[in-house]
Structure 1
Amino acid sequence: MAGLERSDIDIATRGAEQFVEFYYRAYDSDDRVESLPKFYRPSSSIVWNGNPIQGNEGVKQLIEGMPRSKHEVQLHDCHPVPNSMPPSLHVVVAGTVTHGKAAQQTHPTSSKAVDEQPRVFHQTFILSPDAEKDEGGHVKYYITTDNMRFVG
């Protein structure tokens, strides 16, 4: 198989931009318990801040026990995984997340509660192509692996 071409990287970058937008919108939504697990499969492997979780049901259980959140993505990067066609994607995201009451407010209060203060996070995904395509015939992706870690 030939090496990566510029078009491969452009396609991966556009796919990652859409993924990041949809994923964190779902994560912060009112229906996140139903919508977020759809990004995963039963075989998906997740490590959430050092805690292993298995599959979409594990994600659902995790989210059910968490307070509301608001993510502010500050950067993301994506690279197609060589020798995979359509390519799997390696996506890295960094930003801040606020949990609790402050996540629902436009301007958080100056509360000293840790669960209401923005925390820096770093998240790495491997996205794999799904067997089914979207309505336009484009490749759909699901999360194969997800590693999220609070920084500091």
Structure 2
Amino acid sequence: MTTLTQNDIEIAARAADHFTRLYYSTYDSDTRVEDLPNFYRPTSALTWNGTPYQGPEGVKQLLSSQPPSLLVTVSGNVTHGKGPSGNPPSTPAKSIDGQPRVFSQTFMLAPDPNAPRAAPGEVAKYYVNADAMRFVG
């Protein structure tokens, strides 16, 4: 069994932070189709919405077919109804009805090809391509 020191954990955390910053800045660049496949090797596997892609060429094929998109992640609290004070007296104490609940929701937004072209400086028009919502508390 390997014992990790605090220094080992800090090095791993810095490496993970560095990798994600580099990967996503490359992903967001104008040259992502050419540059992002460099993160992968011929034996690398990537699965996109259940479809497998293999190696740098598979990644390039995927990226070439994707429109620019935005991933929006939202987390917070939501209370349905009037809240705990709005529940009838017969509501069990541990009922989730009217109680605040923690949620996480992720939207994949894609450019809307049917929307009028955005003017310079105007926000592009997107539609919700995928939506995943989950109560986490």
Structure 2 length as normaliser, TM-score? 0.56
Counterpart of 2:31?
31
Structure 1 length as normaliser, TM-score? 0.51
Counterpart of 1:62?
62
What is the number of equivalent residue pairs in this alignment? 97
Structure 2: give runs of 5+ residues left out of the alignment: 75-105, 113-117
Q: Distance in 1 between matches of 2:43 and 2:19?
A: 19
Work out the percentage of aligned pairs sharing the same amino acid: 42
Q: How big is each residue's C-alpha offset from its partner over 1:105-125, in whole Å with a ceiling of 9 and x where there is no partner? A: 77454x5x334xxx56xxxxx
Higher relative contact order (CA 8 A, sep 6+): 1
Q: Distance in 2 between matches of 1:106 and 1:71?
A: 19
Kindly tell me: are residues 4 and 97 of structure 1, through their superposed partners in 2, closer, same or farther at Cα, counting changes over 3 Å? farther
Q: How big is each residue's C-alpha offset from its partner over 1:32-73, in whole Å with a ceiling of 9 and x where there is no partner? A: 100110111111011112111111110000000000134568
Task: State yes or no: 1:20 paired with 2:20.
Answer: yes
TM superposition outliers: structure 1 runs of 4+ over 6 Å: none
Counterpart of 2:128?
114
Contact 2:23 2:36 in 1 (8 A): yes
Q: Would you tell me which structure has more strand in proportion to its own residues?
A: 1
Q: Distance in 2 between matches of 1:30 and 1:23?
A: 13
Over aligned residues, Cα RMSD in angstroms?
3.2
Q: How big is each residue's C-alpha offset from its partner over 1:59-110, in whole Å with a ceiling of 9 and x where there is no partner? A: 0000000001345688xxxxxxxxxxxxxxxxxxxx6654326xx977454x
